[in-house]
Amino acid sequence: MSTTERATGRAIGMPLDRIDGPQKVKGTAPYAYEHHVEHPLYLFAVRSSIARGRIVSMDVSRAQDVPGVVIVVTHENAPRMADTRDQELATLQSDRVDYRGQYVGAVIAETYEVARHAASLVEISYEEETHAAVLDPASDGLYAPEVVNAGFPTDTEEGDFDRSFSSAAVRLDETYTTPTEHNNPMEPHTTVAIWEGGNLTLYESTQGVHPVGRTVARVFGLDRDRVRVVAPYVGGGFGSKGLPHANTMLAVLAAQMVEGRPIKFALTRQQMFAGVGYRTPTVQRMRLAADEEGHLTAVGHDVIEQTARFKEFAEQTAVVSRMMYDTQSRRTTHRLAALDVPVPSWMRAPGEAPGMFALESAMDELAEACNLDPIEFRVRNEPEIDPESGLPYSSRNLVACLREGARRFGWEDRDPAPRTRQEGRWLVGTGVASATYPVFRMPGSRATIRYEGDGRYAVEIGAADIGTGTWTALTQISADALEIGVEDVDLRIGDTRLPYASVEGGSSGITVWGAAIFEAARVFRERHGEDPSEGDEVQARTPNNPETENYAMHAFGAYFVETRVDADTGEVRVPRMTGVFAVGNVINPGTARSQFIGGMAMGLSMALHEESLVDGRFGHVVNQDLAEYHIPTNADVGEIDVSWIDEDDPYVNPMGSKGIGEIGIVGSAAAIANAVYHATGIRVRDLPITPDKILP
């Protein structure tokens, strides 16, 4: 582990153990379902068995007759929402069915067992309509969205792409595809909802208590201060708990029907394969061209992906190709197919993860076509300024990552020829890929600092810790911002009674929450000095960062991978991975390292394992559990060597840090695909790389 010493401050940069560690290892840290409530009722959802149509009738009599059942909820008796514009959230508000697995009813009962059994007894007849649930890139119904996720333009064009591409010395024109993938955090999406006297309390598994609270208030027509959302511990999210989904709305509806009694609602693992977001499948045509010296002359990245007919989500898959490398001409496009499916949403590094699989695979192919080492090829195409905005980078150390990674991994003596190393039945190969992730900022976060006497300071912000280490990192940031010891910080997060915090998404949390804390500490010292009185308090917002007008801000990384491919079975093993990152200042080397090894292993999983198989006849995911949707096990993951280079970036935020939650997955899959090619001579452009794609 590289522990970067920081000149200023004492806590930032220290590998402090997680302050929530003792509770987590005992299992006593309360996740959403585990907050103690008196006399709860249990909710179990009834889901549609058709992909499109309308409900003609529902027979709830058998369910209602089960002893212990309190209410069977349907679209006919559910409370009306105040705002149904967001069709994803407008749960049980009409007889429409927009996708298979949509909530069409629910049972409220005294026990979980009764609720689940009774839910199976609800009989529904439908009027079915013709549906389409599988992405067809040849469909004539594709359309261009107005913008893509995170507000990026749908298409871009610079230079004369067609001419540059057609006249180039070396050209590549290949299509890369990635499948539907589901986030699958270990903790299911869960809500405990209590409706009492016009006040709503939610214990929620979420990446942002305030965004959930505001959405629920809007949808149900409640004052914001009547909705309290609590989430001190969250069992992972990876984006699926970033935006509120229908399951939360269903729990609130149910709570409103049983005034005063808490509703406990956790999705089953199978139910998490519809309705809580997923990564769209992508079809990506890459056209790259280079001159004889290996300088890119054209970069074309045309993406086809899916959205739901009832709500649009457009993943920003081609955006990485706009800034990654220097070229004379460039074209990027996004086209969508609107299908009768659940709406896709965020899954770790939406855009970057699938986009960099295609770009970095194509770069590997073009490097070979140019007879260049893939590292040298990337170095030759390193831009001096951000090609998209024309701004200089606040810091861009991709080349340093590539060079340092090559040294750590032992790249120097690599024979570039594919299928040249065999050990027993194992074909051995190595591969490299780059990664990038933008420094996103979300607006509006605030932090309160209050002196509580005896040298102790309360720091309050409604931030989330989904495993990212927020509890620990914000404690370290608070200590340095106030120039006190970490033991004198009382951090409070995960509750809407605390000041507003933006969602833990886009790897933006530490940037904006940390900046709010720094600002609050500055104002606190200005007003109250070094010797405050008990009760002295200051609240401050994340200040605008004027440097975002002057600099392009991105994190970078490089991966090196060894793969061993069984020549007889096509099984791919990854005994070792090296990742080197340029992410500014690292707040906590221990938790940061965990983010990187976790992201890289999720990239391994994207490369080799993950694929949600949709049965087009019915519109559902067939392999909807953890036995058939394979996420990596301990035995799938080998040695992971993680380090980062010293990077001093004074422009990004007061901590000098860049987000690290997502970059670990970006490029990891491409590095593995490139290593599989080197091992076998077989270029797999369609993820995941399963044995059938390797065997002859």
Contacting positions for another protein (CB under 8 A): 17-18, 20-31, 33-34, 36, 111-114, 117, 184-188, 233-236, 238, 266, 268-269, 466-469, 590-591, 593-595, 597-602, 605, 625-627, 631-637, 639-640
From residue 545, alpha-carbon distances to 137, 152, 385, 461 in Å are 41, 20, 20, 20
Nearest to 571 by CA among 680, 431, 433, 674: 680
Backbone angles phi, psi at 282, to 5 degrees: -130, 145
Which residue is listed with tokens 């609800």? 122
Cβ contact 571:430 at 8 Å: no
Query: What separation, in Å, do the N-terminal and C-terminal C-alpha atoms of the chain show?
Result: 41
Nearest to 623 by CA among 99, 187, 272: 272
The CA angle 399-401-404, to the nearest 5 degrees, is 105
Burial 194-205 (b: 16+ CB within 10 A, else e): bbeeeebbbbbb
Q: DSSP letters of 111-155?
A: SHHHHHHHHTT-EEEEEE-----S--TT-TT-B--SEEGGGEES-
662 is catalytic: yes
Which of residues 40 and 462 has its CB atom nearest to another protein in the complex?
Answer: 40
Q: Is 662 helix (H, G, I), strand (E, B) or coil?
A: coil
Catalytic residue among 88, 305, 404, 662: 662
Rounded Cα distance, 359 and 301, in Å: 8
Which of residues 520 and 640 has its CB atom nearest to another protein in the complex?
Answer: 640
Nearest to 155 by CA among 332, 303, 319: 332
Cβ contact 664:600 at 8 Å: yes
Which of residues 247 and 542 has its CB atom nearest to another protein in the complex?
Answer: 247
Q: What is the 3-state secondary structure (H, E, C) of 456-481?
A: CEEEECCCCCCCCCHHHHHHHHHHHH
Which of residues 26 and 549 has its CB atom nearest to another protein in the complex?
Answer: 26
Q: What is the 3-state secondary structure (H, E, C) of 571-604?
A: CEEEEEEEEEEECECCCCHHHHHHHHHHHHHHHH
- In this structure, the number of other CB atoms found within 10 A of the CB of residue 20 comes to 16
Which of residues 397 and 643 has its CB atom nearest to another protein in the complex?
Answer: 643
Which of residues 41 and 482 has its CB atom nearest to another protein in the complex?
Answer: 41
Which of residues 124 and 606 has its CB atom nearest to another protein in the complex?
Answer: 606
Helix residue spans in 541-694 (DSSP H): 589-608, 668-680
Which of residues 114 and 359 has its CB atom nearest to another protein in the complex?
Answer: 114
Strand partners, 224: none
* Residues taking part in catalysis: 662
